[in-house]
Amino acid sequence: MNLSYHQLTQTISRLLKLQPGMVTTDTHLKDELGLTDWELTLLINQLERKFRVEFPEQEVQQLQTVEALVSRISL
């Protein structure tokens, strides 16, 4: 899938109800957005449905930045 950083940052902003521009490619999902493991899992589930991709369960906790999500979705 050819996913742009802009598409993903906009989607994450909408899903987390954040102001546009708060999420960038180097945004750290836990440290900067304060996501707990549970919230990260929920976000990943929503992204899987929206972009019709699947994240292996063992990889979810390793995805720490928006850029890592784009790279994984774009595979």
Domain annotation for the chain: domains and CATH numbers: 5-73 (1.10.1200.10)
Q: 5 CB contacts (<8 Å, ≥6 apart)?
A: 25, 66, 67, 70
pTM for the model: 0.81
Handedness of CA 5, 46, 74, 26 (dihedral sign): positive
Residue 65, strand partner residues: 28
**Average pLDDT of the segment spanning 1-17:** 81
Residue 75 has pLDDT above 90, yes or no: no
Q: CA-to-CA distance for 38 and 22, rounded, in angstroms?
A: 21
**What are the C-alpha distances in Å from 62 to residues 14, 20, 21, 43, 56?**
22, 25, 24, 14, 11
Q: What is the pLDDT of residues 47-72, one digit of tens each?
A: 889 888 898 888 887 889 988 988 88
